[in-house]
Structure 1
Amino acid sequence: MTSNSQTILAILVTYHSCLILLGLWAARRAQTNEDFLIGGRNLNGWVAGFSYAATSSSAWVLMGFSGFVYATGLSALWMLPGIWGGYIVAWVVLGKQLQQRAHQHKYVTFTDFIAADTVSHARRRIVLASSTMILFCFIFYISAQLLASGSAMKTYFDIPSWQGILLAALIVSVYSVLGGFWAVSTTDMIQGIVILVIAILLPLAALVEAGGPVELWARLAQDTPGHLDIFGGRAGLTAIGAALGMAGIGLGTFGQPQLMTRIMSVKNDKERRKAFKIAMSWSLIVFSGMALLGLSARVLPVSMDNAEQILFGTTSLLFPDIIAGLVMAALLSAVMSTVDSILVASSASISHDIKFQPVRSVLMSRIAAAGLMVLAVGISLSAPTSIFERVLFAWTALGAAFGPVLFARLAGWRPHPNAVFLAMMTGFFMSVAFNQYLYAGPSNLYERIGPWICPILLLYAWRIEAPAEQHDG
């Protein structure tokens, strides 16, 4: 192992030892399933804001998004209005009602909210369907993050990717299984701060190395002029459709249980407003930084195997060992800030929503989290795909399944249980169909927006005036 690798390893060991100790501390606070799965609905704004931002963005921002901008150019930036719009709608438009109802009705999971006001076999059908879809998508989501970790370990330590995947899985599993929501929220806040620092320092250094904004623009115009076309060479309706397709990624926000439970867990409205300001500021800085890194790296002599490794290549080119260690820590922070939250949300689907008994609730949640991690590791090792593609598939499918139902409930439509079930299934399977078999349109326009149309119409047409308990389905 080189001195460079030894320095990076020392930083990582210190950093992740602190995270594991934090998990041990948080384990004392997870006395009930409500504590383990939603932190007792008592998160303050700083923890909720940073953990929401870090969880929503994950490794695909540091590696996937920066690599996408590197490969595509300015046309990739159409994603940003959709992403930032998702933050605003989630926290400002929907957040107040979501947080208040979660406290008022003692909801523990996002599925509790989706299946609200339904009883008997109708609720059971909704819960089983939602839990199945969540677990299916989250397995791929987790595997994508672990794949990013394996790629990083291979780059810095010259070890096989599978060893890096196993190491990351072990670290995350320890503190997530022990501490649950308390642990993952607190560690996500720390990891969000680390990511923020890197997203400021690295892009600025890359921009300076490229000669500054004016020189960067001139070199891009000379070497890769297509990168400066905001529509990526498209024109007319195709250009508009592509822009809308990129921005449509924001629709996925509203179907992510790991994000909606962050809003549900905030202890009061004052802390919710604070959390939004923190999360939004973080997102503006980090996404802008990664976009700048992708453009700047285009004109630098960066050594890498593929576009998703520009973070490592740029760091090795510009910084000494100690900074490389921090960047590595930032990447693994991004990986873990998503994986840990998804593990807790997934275990909630099994231990709370499906309610396997007579195993004690908190123990069942921990067993479920460990089992899901094992399955995700297996998929990571056997089905390699790009980080960007895996995350976007899971993100889009969950958004189409749950987003329309969330909006319908918060709009006061009181949808019939059958409409909720059919809307979820229709949105999910249409998303899968567009992803696998149908023409997704320019920049996946149809895949991201199309699956929302039928569920919205179903929920609106099949709404009821009387309390849902009287219409068991």
Structure 2
Amino acid sequence: MADNSIIIATLVAYKIVLLGIGFWASRRVDSEGDFFLAGQSLGPWTAGLSYAASTSSAWVLLGFTGMVFTQGLVALWLVPGIFGGYLMTWLVMGPRLNAETRERGHITVVDFLVADAGKWARIIGVVAAALILFCFVFYIAAQFQAAGNALTEVFGMSATEAILLGATVILVYCLMGGFLAASITDALQAGVMVLACIIVPIAALNAAGGIGNVIDALHTTVPPSYLSFTGQAAGMAGIGAAMGLLGTGLGALGQPQLLNRIMAVRSQAERRRGAAITVGWGVLIYSGLVVLALSGRAMALDTGGESLFFAAASAYLPAALAGIVIAAVLSAVMSTVDSLLLAAASAVSHDSGLTWRDPKQALLMGRLAMVGVAVIAVVITLFAPTDIFTRVLFSWVALGAAFGPAILTRCLGWRVKGGAVLMAVIAGFGIAVTAYNIPGPGAEIMEKWGSWAVGFIILALGRQKT
């Protein structure tokens, strides 16, 4: 392992930068709209990079890399799905999301969802807030688990100590700043991830002897299913497995922490530039991690998969550089959860319909909600352990199925009765959660695609004539 003194020094420096950003941003928060949406003032680089980092971090650096390492080429079906989600949110949903936020003063995605719901707006808001809280405690738990795994890998701490330390650091930072601070720090994190996902894969590929040696080693050491795009499945089962992974990208269309970035961009022109920045970032990240995973498998690295990134950095980089990379990525993983906590806080203090005497009281309740969500997520992490990838995909898919169809159709100009919107939200979420707990590729297709199809049918039946 790289010199721990280098890692600790880098961690401290990184956290000082984050705290400085939080302090700077706190002086620009004068209203609820500033705290939860940065007063719609984000530029393209901040919006594009913070969106990218919020889609990824722990589950990409650790979970996706581990999935490619252990399962092979079948995992690559996730990539077109993820990029499809990028394009749909920024270019199809983005124009109306951004414009209507400016025109009608929306603060959250739920505001946009219920804007034309009439008498149903309040109950839809309450249900939406409950679903956001439910899903995000699992999502945040995945980030805490990632931080805990990283601290355990680097410092040899126990899992409990590592998770509690990571959660404490995250929570202290989150309580300092609002959406502007979260967006800037996430943009910084995205830059750190790009550098790490270039340096570490190149080092691993070089250690493996180049692309030719990696390909030869894989053909001679891994089972044929590893190099198949349908994995161990065949025929319709293989197609089902691929479609299940491909459908993961649909989740982006219903994620508040992502759509908030698009709502907060200053102008439509900057929104389009933000889309290009997000896509370019994704190309670099996913290309690098696929190279890293295949190189690690070719060399038969002794790792469980989700610790591959840190193991490769330690093994193939000089100690000083490895320490900086590990510490920077560790900090980036931990800081991602700020956006999730903000979205959860806004669900409690704004979307749930609760009213407060003054804006300061609303902000206080939002911060208290952050603490409550963090505590629940830590408990889940400690007492209901599972791998990072599964926990993130559960919350990602369920929330996408609940909100995605209703938000997408509204962005496309549909006017739907409020009761139909409520039914679509509940049905999409219920189908996704039920199918998640049923094994097999057929259930996975129902979870990813069937939940959306039912939502669209309900919305179509409830569509009002214009």
- Is the TM-score greater than 0.5? yes
Q: Which amino acid aligns with 2:52?
A: A
Match of residue 395 from structure 1:
396
The answer on 1:133 being equivalent to 2:134 is no
Match of residue 37 from structure 1:
36
Partner secondary structure for residue 139 of structure 1: helix
Contact 2:435 2:447 (C-alpha < 8 Å) held by counterparts = yes
Matched residues, number: 462
Q: Pairwise mapping of residues 323-342 of structure 1 onto structure 2 (< 5 A)?
A: 323-342=321-340
Measured in 2, the distance between the counterparts of 1:409 and 1:103 equals 16
Measured in 2, the distance between the counterparts of 1:251 and 1:257 equals 13
- Cα offset for 1:323? 2.4
Measured in 2, the distance between the counterparts of 1:257 and 1:336 equals 19
Tell me the TM-score normalized by structure 1.
Answer: 0.94
Measured in 1, the distance between the counterparts of 2:197 and 2:252 equals 22
Cα RMSD of the aligned pairs, angstroms, is 1.6
CA offsets 1:47-104 (integer angstroms, 9 cap, x no match)? 0011000001120100000000000111111111101111011111221111111111
Match of residue 371 from structure 1:
372
CA offsets 1:138-189 (integer angstroms, 9 cap, x no match)? 0010011001111111111111222222222222222322211011001011
- Cα offset for 1:242? 2.1
Q: Which amino acid aligns with 1:82?
A: G
Match of residue 420 from structure 2:
419
Contact 2:201 2:289 (C-alpha < 8 Å) held by counterparts = yes
Measured in 1, the distance between the counterparts of 2:2 and 2:261 equals 40
Q: Pairwise mapping of residues 62-461 of structure 1 onto structure 2 (< 5 A)?
A: 62-120=61-119, 122-226=120-224, 227-300=226-299, 302-304=301-303, 306-354=304-352, 355-358=354-357, 360-436=361-437, 438-441=438-441, 444-461=444-461
Partner secondary structure for residue 298 of structure 1: helix
Measured in 1, the distance between the counterparts of 2:406 and 2:331 equals 32
Gaps in structure 1 of 5+ consecutive residues:
467-473
Contact 1:47 1:185 (C-alpha < 8 Å) held by counterparts = yes
- Cα offset for 1:259? 0.3
Contact 2:251 2:397 (C-alpha < 8 Å) held by counterparts = yes
Q: Which amino acid aligns with 1:269?
A: Q
Match of residue 469 from structure 1:
none
Measured in 1, the distance between the counterparts of 2:42 and 2:406 equals 25
Measured in 1, the distance between the counterparts of 2:255 and 2:292 equals 27
Q: Which amino acid aligns with 1:101?
A: E
The answer on 1:22 being equivalent to 2:21 is yes
CA offsets 1:207-251 (integer angstroms, 9 cap, x no match)? 111111111101000000422222224333333222221111111
- Cα offset for 1:357? 2.1
Measured in 2, the distance between the counterparts of 1:336 and 1:113 equals 29
Q: Which moved more, 1:232-241 or 1:208-217?
A: 232-241
Contact 1:52 1:259 (C-alpha < 8 Å) held by counterparts = yes
Name the CA shift for 1:150/1:208 in 2 (closer, same or farther; >3 Å).
same
Contact 1:51 1:337 (C-alpha < 8 Å) held by counterparts = no
Measured in 1, the distance between the counterparts of 2:403 and 2:199 equals 37
Q: Which amino acid aligns with 1:271?
A: E
Measured in 1, the distance between the counterparts of 2:273 and 2:335 equals 20
Contact 1:71 1:307 (C-alpha < 8 Å) held by counterparts = yes
Gaps in structure 2 of 5+ consecutive residues:
none
Contact 1:243 1:443 (C-alpha < 8 Å) held by counterparts = no
CA offsets 1:363-394 (integer angstroms, 9 cap, x no match)? 22222222221221222222111100100000
Tell me the TM-score normalized by structure 2.
Answer: 0.96
Contact 1:54 1:337 (C-alpha < 8 Å) held by counterparts = no
Q: Which moved more, 1:319-328 or 1:251-260?
A: 319-328
Contact 1:8 1:321 (C-alpha < 8 Å) held by counterparts = no
- Cα offset for 1:439? 4.4
Measured in 2, the distance between the counterparts of 1:164 and 1:40 equals 36
Contact 1:96 1:269 (C-alpha < 8 Å) held by counterparts = yes
Q: Which moved more, 1:132-141 or 1:284-293?
A: 284-293
Measured in 1, the distance between the counterparts of 2:442 and 2:121 equals 38
Q: Which moved more, 1:109-118 or 1:354-363?
A: 354-363
Measured in 1, the distance between the counterparts of 2:23 and 2:380 equals 28
